[in-house]
């Protein structure tokens, strides 16, 4: 049974601002859950939503509010990851909040089995990683691509607004004609004409990620039917049912599985079994959430390198006791890690304690 839940709001400063189609991020305020049972077992998870609802409808505040509902539902019960999704199913949506809690429960189950989470999940030792690059100043973008290729990354994801993308992509392809490039549009290209997509199609991309907003499956299917380049769905995939919808309509050919976005590791494992080509994405989370996602990414079956980096890639300060580092495009997973609670307590702006 759960005794208490502590929610820490921790601001993490990016080494370089992160550019997406909808936002420029300089600071990432992440939410860290520390869950303690009545017999003193501790698990932890990370809430991956942002401060504003630019990626999904969830926010940092909504995860805090949902956590209060979750704790009330679980009061007095002995919880396992097998039953957790059903117990919280009366809460509509709020998948990132649920994923945060489920991650903590996975940690608790592993501790009760006297195992690390890596061993408990039968996870692998390494993860092949890609690199994400926001298109800014062209010379800086070129340098970043050159460095990523030299460092052994086998997939490079470019992020930019539609207005910036085509001119930059033409210049990039002139210099790197064979680089393994893809683009991520974060649902921002719904107003672009077919001629615009046809120009993208000519650049031999690995995939076009999320060109239209999340629920526009029929529009995505019509677009995929006219393109050679595979469409990858990200925000559209929130559950196993969404993968079925995509497959039946032909709305895409690849999926980006983010455990945080689909409600947790249990649903991510379920989606993995469907058989659609997939790769594993991150949420610019701290190393706490990143490690949990990397354990999932290390399982067999992914068709492309994960969208993950080491702890030194993004933030000035990170939150694990052991750094996660990428070498030659591959990240080696430590057998066991722990949050650095001293750093968390030093950095955090606020802690919300929920008790039974």
* Predicted local confidence at residue 343, as pLDDT: 95
Q: Long-range contacts for 190-198 (Cβ within 8 Å, ≥24 apart)?
A: 190/216, 190/219, 191/162, 192/162, 194/226, 196/162, 196/166, 197/223, 197/226, 197/227, 198/226, 198/227
Of the listed ranges 106-110, 130-134, 184-188, 278-282, the least confidently predicted one is: 130-134
Check whether 22 has a pLDDT greater than 70.
Answer: no
CA 170 – CA 248 distance, rounded (Å): 34
pLDDT of residue 320: 94
**Proportion of the chain above pLDDT 70, given as a percent:** 99
Calculate mean pLDDT across residues 207-233.
96
- pLDDT, one tens digit per residue, over 32-46 is 999 999 999 999 999
User: Model confidence over 82-122: pLDDT tens digits?
Assistant: 999 999 999 999 999 999 999 999 999 999 999 999 999 99
Q: Which of 98, 118, 157, 258 is catalytic?
A: 258
CA-CA distance, 339 to 150, in Å (whole number)? 32
pLDDT digits (tens, 9 = 90+) for 254-278: 999 999 999 999 999 999 999 999 9
Q: Does residue 226 have a pLDDT over 90?
A: yes
Residue 124 has pLDDT above 70, yes or no: yes
Among 98, 118, 157, 159, the active-site one is: 159
CA–CA separation, 142 vs 326, rounded Å?
21
Mean of pLDDT values over 286-294:
96
Q: Considering just the CA atoms, what is the radius of gyration of the chain in Å? A: 20
Q: Which of 253, 272, 254, 252 is nearest to 262 (CA)?
A: 272
Confidence of residue 135 (pLDDT cuts 50, 70, 90): confident
Arithmetic mean of pLDDT, 168-180: 94
Output phi, psi for 345, to 5 deg. -65, -30
Whether residue 20 has pLDDT greater than 70:
no
Note the pLDDT of residue 295: 97
| Terminal-to-terminal C-alpha distance of the chain | 10
226 an active-site residue? no
pLDDT digit string, tens, across residues 326-349: 888 899 999 999 999 999 999 999
The arithmetic mean of pLDDT across residues 164-192, rounded, is 93
Confirm whether 118 is a catalytic residue. no
């Amino acid at each position: 049974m759960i005794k208490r839940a502590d929610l820490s709001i921790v601001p993490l400063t990016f080494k370089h601002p992160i550019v997406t189609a909808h936002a420029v991020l300089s600071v990432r305020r992440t939410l860290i859950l520390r869950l303690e049972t009545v017999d003193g077992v501790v698990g932890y998870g990370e809430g991956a939503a942002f401060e504003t609802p630019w990626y999904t409808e969830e926010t940092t505040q909504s995860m805090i509010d949902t956590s209060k509902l979750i704790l009330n539902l679980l009061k007095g019960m002995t919880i396992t990851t097998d039953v957790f999704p059903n117990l919280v199913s009366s809460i509509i949506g709020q998948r990132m909040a649920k994923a945060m809690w489920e991650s903590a429960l996975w940690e608790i189950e592993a501790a009760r089995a006297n195992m690390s989470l890596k061993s408990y999940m039968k996870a692998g030792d390494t993860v092949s990683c890609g690199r994400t690059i926001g298109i800014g100043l062209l010379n800086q973008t070129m340098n970043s691509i050159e460095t990523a290729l030299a460092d052994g990354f086998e997939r490079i994801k470019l992020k930019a607004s539609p207005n910036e993308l085509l001119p930059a992509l033409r210049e990039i392809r002139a210099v790197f004609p064979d680089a393994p490039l893809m683009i991520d549009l974060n649902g921002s290209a719904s107003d672009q004409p077919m001629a615009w997509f046809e120009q993208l199609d000519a650049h031999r991309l690995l995939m076009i990620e999320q060109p239209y907003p999340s629920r526009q499956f029929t529009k995505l299917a019509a677009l995929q039917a006219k393109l050679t380049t595979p469409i990858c769905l990200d925000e559209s995939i929130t559950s196993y049912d969404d993968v079925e919808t995509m497959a039946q309509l032909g709305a895409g050919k690849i999926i980006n599985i983010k455990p945080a976005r689909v409600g947790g590791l249990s649903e991510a494992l379920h989606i993995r079994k469907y058989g659609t080509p997939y790769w594993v994405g991150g949420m610019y989370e701290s190393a706490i959430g990143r490690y949990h996602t990397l354990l999932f990414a290390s399982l067999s079956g992914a068709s492309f390198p994960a969208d993950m980096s080491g702890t030194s890639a993004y933030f000035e300060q990170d939150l694990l006791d052991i750094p996660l580092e990428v070498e030659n495009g591959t990240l080696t997973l430590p057998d066991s890690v722990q949050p650095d609670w001293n750093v968390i307590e030093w950095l955090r702006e606020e802690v919300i304690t929920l008790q039974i």
